[in-house]
Amino acid sequence: MARRKSSYFKAERSFRRDRGDGKPAKLILIVTEGVNTEPIYLKQLAKRWGVHPRVITLKPGGDGIPANLVTLALNEQLEQRKRGRISAVDPMKFDETWIVFDTEHAERQHRLEDGMALAEQHNVNIAHSTPCFEFWLALHFALKAPPMDTCEEAIRLLKQVSGKAYAKDSKHSEVFCRDIIDRVGEAVRNARNLEARQSEEPFPANPSTTVHKLIESLYETLPEQMKKRVNFP
């Protein structure tokens, strides 16, 4: 058993030491509120970009309360260490931990602020969407959007700007995300422009998202020669 573990860490050190351009690769843990659209989208993006499978550890299935997602992320870190996938010491650890969530439910439960504080305390990055992840998807097609109180409104906007059928179940999410994933550069550009316009507004602006920051981090895991093949602003 010890010999097998030693071989694993040797391979892990090799992976982190060399991405093909001499720069160390990052290890990223992503915990998502959703069990369908968010993880499916991220898997589609990683596949299209050729992100190394060891870069991302994806944990879907939170309950929409950011503090609970942070706790789930911390528990996942401990579980991964027990399995020997990462170490509690450098350099074999998660370099970044992210939670992906909608603010709609958290705000209704008055659980947004405590979750943000807990994330900051444990150095967990947030990729929020207001009111929900479907607004991030809508940014693949359009920048302008009115304030929205519910995810149902965001879904209607998404259908309108994309001209595509959409549903949250895994089958429809798989098809939808596959069809739009090449437009991710436009979504990032739109999200950056929106963020700049909302810089003076209290968090969370409506509508708003920081999913683009997670996407930017994933892009940075790519070797330079692979970045040249990706349409990214």
Whether residue 185 is contained in a domain is answered as yes
More confident residue, 225 or 141: 141
pLDDT of 221 above 50 = yes
Whether residue 233 is contained in a domain is answered as no
CA distance 77 to 75: 5
Q: Provide the whole-model pTM.
A: 0.89
Whether residue 53 is contained in a domain is answered as yes
What is the distance of C-alpha 18 from the center of its chain?
24
Q: What secondary structure does DSSP assign to 197-209, as a single string?
A: HTTTSPSSPSSEE
Whether residue 231 is contained in a domain is answered as no
pLDDT of 223 above 70 = yes
pLDDT computed for residue 16 by the predictor? 52
Whether residue 122 is contained in a domain is answered as yes
Whether residue 196 is contained in a domain is answered as yes
The stretch 199-218 carries a mean pLDDT of: 97
pLDDT computed for residue 21 by the predictor? 52
Structural domain of 209: 2-223
CA distance 181 to 188: 12
Whether residue 228 is contained in a domain is answered as no
pLDDT computed for residue 5 by the predictor? 47
CA distance 84 to 82: 5
The stretch 132-152 carries a mean pLDDT of: 97
Whether residue 198 is contained in a domain is answered as yes
- How many structural domains does the chain have? 1
CA distance 91 to 83: 17
When the pLDDT of each residue in the chain is averaged and rounded to a whole number, the result is 88
18-41 core/surface letters (b: 16 or more CB in 10 A; e: else) = ebeeeeebbbbbbbbbbebbbbbb
pLDDT computed for residue 84 by the predictor? 72
pLDDT of 111 above 60 = yes
pLDDT computed for residue 124 by the predictor? 97
User: Which tens digits make up the pLDDT trace of 49-74?
Assistant: 999 888 999 999 778 899 999 999 99
pLDDT of 25 above 90 = no
